[in-house]
């Protein structure tokens, strides 16, 4: 992953803040119309990046990605990254998720440990690969 001298890029153990919308097409935000803010620590899984993390890798604040997703693939795409608004997608077989990177920061050690503990404490039978399912 490339590093910029002027602004940080999405890389391992960075705290990434996203503004997320979703819609039934790439041009619409009719599922999540008001941007939802979401923050997570990038690159925590010992078995590698999730497909969602690969889409963000190397980008900096201000970059935007748009992914066409199928609801049946959400666990595979996000794995341990627990989006707080996935119930919004329950009635949609396929949708488009737009994520705007609003901040890329260095995570402090406390934030990393908290994120790792949350991964280890997953109890939702989510089939995310964490062992709870």
Residue 115 lies in a domain: yes
More confident residue, 43 or 82: 43
Residue 126 lies in a domain: no
Instruction: With a cut of 70, say whether residue 84 has pLDDT above it.
Output: yes
Residue 28 φ/ψ, nearest 5 degrees: -115, 150
For position 29, which CATH number holds? 3.10.50
Across the beta sheet with 32-41, the strand order is 32-41, 14-23, 94-106, 64-70
Q: Write out the residue range of the structural domain in which residue 92 sits.
A: 14-120
Compute the 3-state secondary structure of the chain and give helix, strand, coil in percent, each to the nearest 5.
Answer: 25, 30, 45
Q: What is the per-residue pLDDT for 120?
A: 82
Q: How many domains does the chain have?
A: 1
Query: Distance (Å, rounded) from C-alpha 96 to C-alpha 103?
Result: 22
Helix (H, G, I), strand (E, B) or coil at 89: helix
Sign of the dihedral through C-alpha 92, 67, 24, 36 = positive
Closest to 83 measured CA to CA, from 21, 29, 10: 21
The model's pTM: 0.84
Q: What is the mean pLDDT of the chain?
A: 89
Residue 60 lies in a domain: yes
Instruction: With a cut of 60, say whether residue 125 has pLDDT above it.
Output: no
């Amino acid at each position: 992953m490339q590093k910029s001298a002027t602004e940080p890029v999405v890389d391992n153990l960075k705290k990434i803040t996203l503004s997320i919308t979703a819609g039934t097409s790439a041009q619409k935000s009719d599922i999540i119309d008001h941007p939802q803010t979401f923050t997570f620590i990038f690159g925590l899984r010992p078995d590698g990046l999730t497909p969602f993390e690969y889409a963000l890798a190397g980008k900096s604040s201000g970059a935007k990605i748009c992914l066409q997703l199928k609801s049946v693939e959400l666990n595979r795409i996000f794995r341990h990254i627990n989006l707080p608004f996935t119930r919004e997608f329950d009635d949609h077989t396929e949708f488009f998720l737009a994520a705007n990177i609003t901040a890329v920061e260095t995570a402090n050690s406390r934030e990393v440990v908290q994120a790792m503990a949350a991964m280890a404490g997953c109890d939702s039978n989510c089939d995310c690969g964490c062992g709870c399912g």
